[in-house]
Structure 1
Amino acid sequence: MRALVSARLGADFTKLWTASAVSNIGDGVTMAAGPLLVASVSSHPALVAGAVFAQQVPWLLFALISGAYVDRLDRRRLIVAVNLMRAGALAALAVTLATETVTVAVIYTVLFLLGTGETLADTAMGALQPSLVAPEKLPSANARLYATFTIGNQFAAKPLGAWLFVISAAAPFGLDALTFTVAAALVARIRSAPAPEPQPRASLRGEIIAGVRWLWQHRLLRTLAVSMGLGNIAFCAAFAVFVLYCRQQLRLFDIGYGFLLTAFAVGGLAGTTVAAKLARAFGSTAVLRTGLIIEVVTHVTLAVTTTPWVAAAVLVVFSIHAMVWGVIVASLRQRLVPSHLLGRVGSVYALLELGGAALGSLLGGLFASALEITTPFWIAAVVMAVIAVSAWRPLRQATA
């Protein structure tokens, strides 16, 4: 398999892909063990929830700034340095656990550093990839990266992280430190990544504004970015109360809830295998438009059905669409954005994606508390219908 990928997409992409696979396993292990660690130190709900926020808030604080630095610096070296920094932070956490000196403040600090590193490394990886892969092969490359994330982070790592934590609280974090070290070594071996092109140096604020302005003036990418941001508000508003929806609407409890989450992950994995093929067969425009229709149908179906297998089926289709949409949009952005702006434009997408998710989660809980458990799904269906109508014509440019 490794040789096949190397032959089709290049040896340097294989190193990047392998580094992503290794670090995704480590990330998944920490995501599973992190809540267990916080709960073992403090049972206060606010402190447990705060640990999740500590890792997410850097995206809201630093996404645009990180994008500017990704365009200023050597992206390969930046990824190596950030991965080593994250490995050091996790190793320090493992030491405090082994010596029984860990505190909530230490955990929060490490999680904040991990989230900050994510804003730099993830943005730099997306900006580095187009220099390693031919433009026509970007959909296949992105599909492989998305598949790696789904398999490593969602399927394999979560049970491994919980199991390691039971054996030793320090073990999952030590393993994650090792995965970041290995990932750094792999990226350091990439040879074809070009040095940053010399650009007139403006202030950091000016560079950020230049990236936002460029995106806003590009009709197709602006449409995709706004659609993604608003779509995430709609999606997360509906799925913020999904566990309660399963209990009250579908009459399912823990095992059934886990089954639906698994169905969602299976659909996502299937989406990575068909994304590039669908784009080639039908064109990006048709696939993206169909995806918007799927979003509307998904929310309406979940709002009206009380049958678990219907919900499972629609979630599989939705997650296939979500993965296909992600692969196509990432490939379009990597092809259309000038190399010296890839970091900044990618950071705007990340800010809209995560900001939309945070706002949607907050709104979903409020709507469900004040009205019915299915209200967020109805609202999401209306929002996605408006997005579909508004984006329909601009999406014509996607295939061209």
Structure 2
Amino acid sequence: MNGDQEAPAPTSVTGSTTSTGATGSAASATSGGSPAKKALGPAFANLFTANIASSLGDGIARTAIPLLAVQVTQDPLLISGIAALAMLPWLFFAIPAGILIDRIDRRAAMAMANTVRTLLAVALFVITASGNLTIWWLYLIIFVYGIFETVYDGAVRAVAPSILEKAQLPRANSLIEAGEQVIQNFVSGPVTSLLFAVSVLIPLGANAAVYAIAVILAILLPKVASGRQFAKAHAEKNGDSVAWYKQFVDGLHFIMANKQLKTLWFLSTFSGMCISIATASFVLYLVDRLGLPEALFGVFMLSGAIGGIGASLVAARFKARWGTGLTVAVANVVASLAVVFIGAVPTLWAAAVAFVIVSGSITVWNILIMSLRQSIIPGRLLGRVHGTWRTLLWGSMPVGSIIGGLIGRIDLVLPFIIGGGLSALAGILWFRFLKTLPNPEDVDNGDDAALAGADDSAARAAETAGPTDPAIQE
């Protein structure tokens, strides 16, 4: 399946009962009611708002830059390079971005990424206004945009476990997913297109403004969002930190050391590639085979956004009723069979209904698996594991798209039948495995014990310090 797909990790005891206290977070200060039902708090509200602003900037850029490309060239190959360069950084920079995120204040990582993207937006505004825009300028800007997207995306995913309790993560990720879906599908695209028709400079200026707002909000996040407490606790227990250039394989070692995590990673990658096979020629299938007017393609795609938003609102409820394991196992199979249905019943209504189901099922998967990953990977490793995970998962999707395009040359229904069928087969064969995945609050990643040990060490140091000890003077 597409998107982030996660699983348990080496140091966790899968299925064991653990404390639901927030790992070094402000959430631990709240009291009353179950953790899952507690208010997510002002820190999450800040994070959510910052991500909304950043998502709006992403949506404006992804809409405006292809429109600008059409103004400077009519070469289909050159225009297709925009989409390729937007995804290419994930293949080469996701792991280095993860190392950076784990080594510095994650608030600073978010702010730095969006500061650079603010400057890129300003540069694009100036280049366009001066009449010097070329496709090569767009290539450079979209590629650098993508590089810093890997930094921002990894950082924002790593902040949530620092400010929330594990049981709150599904609800928090549901809200984040819903916000991104609404902003990128119902706000940024249509509004950017309308403003673009008035003046190309209006959306470009707005792009710089919303990224700047996201920078300010990132800086205003509380200290606990930095994630530095995890690295500090680990360093106090194990000595000095490892040099950055020795950390490139940390994420890979962490994943491969646990059979359950490794299985889920490869299953996720295979399923994601299968879905990419199926959807590679989706637009041609809709327009050429099913007769959808080209002008209505964007409207049709909103059906997927509706499915994703609806699923984001109920994912946490599904998890509460059936558990993470059973919910994601069913979602995996349902999404795959819905893909097959698109090809097996070649009508617009069938495609629309199935697309709602596919998008909704994938969204449920993404929310719950992301929440599980955030709770079971030690805080100090979140960036590196996230980067490693996406390098393989997202790196395989272009391969699936090429395979799907070749299959589509034979018949446009075949990619849906083959891609969806293979994904469904994998989902059925590994259904029992997926069903055993635990809830986020039921897995111990060792952070609570490490932080408690660091606090005990600090307390003992304070007790034995003399009256002129610098620690006391601070």
User: Which deviations, in whole Å up to 9, do the C-alpha atoms of 1:246-273 show, x marking residues without a partner?
Assistant: 1344333325544431211111110110
Q: Is residue 20 of structure 2 the alignment partner of residue 20 of structure 1?
A: no
Deviation per CA, 1:183-239, whole angstroms, max 9, x where unpaired? Answer: 010110011324522344334453121211111223333333222211121111111
Structure 1: unaligned runs, 5 residues or longer: 1-5
Distance in 2 between the 1:88 and 1:257 partners? 33
Partner residue of 1:268 out of 296, 308, 318? 308
- Alpha-carbon distance, 1:59 to partner: 0.9
Query: Unaligned 5+ residue runs, structure 2?
Result: 1-36, 440-474
Alignment counterpart, residue 100 of structure 2, candidates 69, 76, 79: 69
1:76 CA drift (Å): 0.8
Which residue of the partner structure matches residue 377 of structure 1?
A: 416
Contact 2:227–2:380 at 8 Å: present in 1 too?
A: no
- 1:313 pairs with 2:353: yes
> Residue 3 of structure 1 aligns with which residue?
none
Give a deviation string over 1:67-90, Cα, whole Å, max 9, x none. 111111111111111111110111
Q: 1:107 aligns with which of 123, 138, 143?
A: 138
After TM superposition, the structure 1 = structure 2 runs for residues 1-400 of structure 1, keeping only pairs within 5 Å, are 8-191=39-222, 192-196=224-228, 197-198=231-232, 199=235, 200-255=240-295, 257-369=297-409, 371-399=410-438
Structure 2 counterpart SS, 1:8: coil
Decide whether aligned partners of structure 1 residues 365 and 101 sit closer, same or farther in structure 2, where only a CA change above 3 A counts.
same
Structure 1 contact 71–342 (Cα < 8 Å) conserved: yes
Distance 1:253 1:132, change over 3 A: same
Alignment length (residue pairs): 395
Q: Deviations over 1:91-144 (max 9, x none)?
A: 011011112222222222211111000011100111111001111100010001
CA–CA distance in structure 2, aligned partners of residues 257 and 39 of structure 1: 18
The 8 Å contact of residues 281 and 404 in structure 2, kept in 1 or not, is answered as: yes
Describe the shift of the 1:104–1:146 C-alpha distance in structure 2 as closer, same or farther (beyond 3 A).
Answer: same
After TM superposition, give the deviation of residue 390 of structure 1 in Å. Answer: 4.0
Q: Which residue of 1 aligns with 2:465?
A: none
Task: Indicate conservation of the 8 Å contact 2:333/2:428, yes or no.
Answer: no
Shift of the 194–75 alpha-carbon distance from structure 1 to 2, 3 Å rule, reads closer
User: What residue identity is the alignment partner of 1:399?
Assistant: P
Residue type of the alignment partner of 2:182: I
Deviations 1:17-76 (A, max 9, x none): 001111211211121111110111122222211122222211111111111111111111
The amino acid that maps onto 2:225 is: A
CA distance in 2, matches of 1:32, 1:398: 38
Normalised by the length of structure 1, the TM-score is 0.94
Distance 2:271 2:347 in 1: 25
Q: Any conservation in 2 of the 1:224–1:329 contact (CA below 8 Å)?
A: no
Higher helix share: 1
What CA distance in whole angstroms lies between the structure 2 residues aligned with 1:227 and 1:117?
28
Distance 1:175 1:259, change over 3 A: closer
Q: Please, what is the CA RMSD of the aligned residues?
A: 1.9
Matches of 2:376 and 2:430 in 1, distance apart? Answer: 18
Q: Which has the higher contact order (CA 8 A, sep 6+)?
A: 2
Instruction: Please tell me whether Structure 1 or Structure 2 has the larger radius of gyration of its CA atoms.
Output: 2
Asked if the contact 1:65–1:204 (Cα under 8 Å) also holds between the matched residues in 2, the reply is no
Letter in 2 for 1:328: L
Write the deviation string for residues 284-331 of structure 1: whole angstroms up to 9, x where unpaired. Answer: 111111112213311221121023222221211121111110100100
TM-score (structure 2 length as normaliser)? 0.80
Q: Which residue type is aligned with residue 100 of structure 1?
A: G
2:102 is paired with a residue whose SS is helix
| Cα distance between partner residues in 2 of 1:245 and 1:163 | 28
